[in-house]
């Protein structure tokens, strides 16, 4: 059986087959071979006509493709306004031939596909991309890259830009950055989840150490600046100042006694701090919140003076002395040498917790918030004049009160 007989047996007319081959050869020889589009392909086309709701695009075939319906609606208004006749644009082949025989195309899907190719190349080459901030959410900034919307988490925003953040809400922190230029690197691409994660920090030549060095050079001890709490620890809080973290030790947070910073502060809170130390060698910044607050001790201590007799209650006994409470929030120390005229080995030989006794103030240390008391000097003649004046004051006050009482009667 020859070749023609075999083709006839299989239902193929050898004459027709030969004609088709001859036609294909002729078209190819004349450069007229038709390159039909295939689904999912991206081609470069030329805009042939534009009407409301539809764009005709020539992609090199005898018929033109159309961008209409939802594919037309996906084109942002500003981009649509910039499209014009004769312009070359990328198009994605949605359907080579729909039920009406139309070649269905998509401009935005082509842009998106090109975008994924761009970001995948950026990952492999570790290239950076210049763009601008177009939006934000609670976690960071939205930045377009090659037609895609990428996300820059807060942790990946440059230290300099983060230093300018203020406010407690996302709107307060991020809204001012919309429209600002930004350089980013791609750090994660996931087409299936349509996930594109970017980093400004990796695209920036500025490092945490170099930024901290710059901030340390600019800061001066005693300077008052505004910062934001970045983390809490048992020993204190870290506050970001101009892009560099400084430490507010637990003792420098409040004048009141606290056991943990979370009693008065929270992460993200904006605070005013005073620069109290700068260690340029170790790159450490010491800060204080307490020193910008009025010291309640000053008002409380103003009620007392050296030489004054006061009533106190013994609260604690130690080897070196006894503590006595003078008011609800002020205690004084009776050093062991000020308890008795006789030599004693321990305060418990004379005092016990809960005892109430008359004491004399012998020292007031405002800087260290300490009051020195004495039991043995209560009857000291060195303070006789002061005691007499104090007694006269009490008697005068009592007499005035009695006179007022008599007048009323």
> Tell me, what CATH number does 99's domain have?
2.40.50.140
93-132 burial string, b = 16+ CB within 10 Å, else e? bbebeeeeeebbbbbbbbbbbbbbebbeebeeeeebbebe
What pLDDT was estimated at residue 63?
Answer: 67
Average model confidence (pLDDT) across the chain: 81
- For the segment 37-60, the average pLDDT, to the nearest whole number, is 89
**Residue 387, domain member (yes or no):** no
Report yes or no on 166 lying in a domain. Answer: yes
Task: For residue 149, give the nearest of 159, 158, 140, 138 by alpha carbon.
Answer: 140
Judge if 224 and 287 occupy the same domain.
yes
Task: Tell me, yes or no, whether 24 and 75 share the same domain.
Answer: no
Per-residue pLDDT at 399 exceeds 50: no
Q: How confident is the model at residue 61 (pLDDT cuts 50, 70, 90)?
A: low
- Looking at residue 315, its pLDDT comes to 93
The pLDDT of residue 387: 58
pLDDT score, position 240: 84
Cα separation, 120 vs 281, in Å, equals 42
Domain containing residue 234? 219-292
Residue 223 lies in a domain: yes
Whole-angstrom CA distances from 305 to 308, 310, 383 are: 6, 10, 12
Q: Establish if 372 belongs to a structural domain.
A: yes
Judge if 134 and 194 occupy the same domain. yes
- Domain assignment of residue 394, yes or no: no
Q: What is the pLDDT of residues 319-340, one digit of tens each?
A: 999 999 998 878 899 999 989 8
pLDDT of residue 10: 46
Asked if residue 370 and residue 309 are part of one domain, the reply reads yes
Which of helix, strand or coil describes residue 331?
Answer: strand
Cα 211 to Cα 128, 173, 184, distances in angstroms: 20, 21, 18
Say if residues 143 and 134 touch (Cβ distance below 8 Å). Answer: yes
DSSP output for 282-308? TTEEEEESGGGS--HHHHHHTT--TT-
- 10 Å Cβ neighbour count for 394? 10
pLDDT in tens, 132-146: 999 998 889 999 987
Biggest CA pair distance of the chain: 149
Count of domains forming the chain: 5
Tell whether 71 and 94 lie within a shared domain.
yes
In a domain, residue 275? The reply is yes
Residues 311 and 373 in one domain: yes
Q: Is 347 inside a domain boundary?
A: yes
Secondary structure of 36-51 as H, E, C letters = CCCCCCEEEEEEEEEE
Do 326 and 358 share a domain, yes or no? yes
Residue 194 lies in a domain: yes
What does the pLDDT read at residue 345? 92
State yes or no: pLDDT of 64 exceeds 80.
yes
pLDDT of residue 269: 87
Weakest-pLDDT range from 198-212, 254-268, 270-284, 325-339: 198-212
Question: Is there a single domain that holds both residue 312 and residue 347?
Answer: yes
> Of 261, 292, 323, which marks where a domain is finished?
292
Is residue 282 domain-shared with residue 326, that is, in the same domain?
no
- pLDDT number for residue 20: 45
């Amino acid at each position: 059986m020859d070749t023609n007989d075999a083709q006839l047996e299989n239902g193929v007319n050898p004459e027709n087959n030969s004609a088709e081959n001859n036609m294909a050869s002729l078209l190819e020889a004349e450069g007229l071979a038709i390159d039909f589009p295939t689904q999912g392909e991206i081609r470069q086309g030329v805009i042939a006509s534009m009407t409301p709701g539809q764009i005709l695009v020539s992609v090199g075939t005898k018929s033109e493709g159309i961008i209409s319906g939802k594919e037309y609606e996906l084109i942002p208004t500003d981009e649509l306004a910039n499209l014009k006749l004769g312009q070359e644009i990328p198009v994605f082949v949605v359907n080579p031939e729909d039920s009406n025989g139309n070649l269905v195309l998509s401009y935005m899907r082509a842009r998106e596909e090109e975008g994924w190719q761009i970001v995948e190349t950026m990952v492999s080459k570790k290239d950076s991309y210049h763009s601008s901030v177009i939006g934000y959410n609670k976690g960071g900034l939205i930045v377009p890259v090659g037609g895609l919307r990428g996300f820059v988490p807060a942790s990946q925003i440059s230290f300099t830009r983060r230093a300018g953040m203020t406010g407690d809400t996302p709107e307060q922190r991020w809204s001012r950055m919309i429209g600002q230029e930004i350089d980013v690197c791609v750090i994660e691409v996931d087409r299936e989840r349509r996930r594109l994660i970017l980093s400004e920090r990796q695209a920036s030549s500025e490092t945490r150490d170099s930024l901290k060095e710059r901030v340390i050079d600019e800061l001066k001890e005693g300077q008052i600046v505004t910062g934001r709490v970045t983390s809490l620890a048992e020993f204190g809080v870290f506050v970001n100042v101009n892009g560099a973290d400084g430490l507010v030790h637990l003792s420098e947070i409040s004048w009141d006694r606290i056991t943990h910073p979370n009693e008065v502060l929270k992460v993200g809170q904006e605070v005013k701090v005073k620069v109290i130390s700068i260690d340029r060698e170790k790159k450490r910044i010491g800060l204080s919140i307490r020193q910008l607050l009025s010291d309640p001790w000053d008002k409380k201590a103003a009620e007392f003076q050296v030489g004054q007799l006061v009533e106190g209650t013994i609260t604690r006994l130690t080897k070196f002395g006894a503590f006595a409470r003078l008011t609800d929030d002020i205690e004084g120390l009776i050093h062991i040498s000020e308890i008795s005229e006789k030599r004693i080995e321990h305060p418990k030989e004379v005092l016990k917790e809960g005892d109430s006794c008359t004491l004399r103030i012998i020292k007031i240390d405002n800087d260290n918030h300490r009051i020195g008391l004495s039991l043995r000097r209560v009857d000291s003649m060195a303070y006789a004049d002061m005691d007499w004046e104090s007694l006269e004051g009490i008697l005068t006050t009592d007499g005035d009160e009695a006179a007022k009482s008599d007048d009323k009667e």
